[in-house]
Amino acid sequence: MNTSITVQNLKCGGCANTITTKLAELENISEISIDVDNSVVAFSHNNQAEVIAVKERLKTLGYPSVDDDNNLVSKAKSFVSCATGKLSK
């Protein structure tokens, strides 16, 4: 199955690199693609529990879905994730 999630705080390729790297660590998550311009994270999975795991991982990284609260902590986490992604390119 394929799912797309619109996220908050996605600004650049550094963010996309971090998201791709961290989601690839999750079991059964594949074909990860990031549309920076539209803030969309797309991926393949096997079941709904994996979608929930992806949403939680995104939130932990500072990229909550548009349905979640985007507080100062999330914004700070996304800043760190972005910088990490730029450094690891």
Give tens-digit pLDDT for 4-58: 999 999 999 999 999 999 999 999 999 999 999 999 999 999 999 999 999 999 9
pLDDT for 89: 58
pLDDT for 28: 97
pLDDT for 27: 95
Tally of CB atoms within 10 A around 2: 9
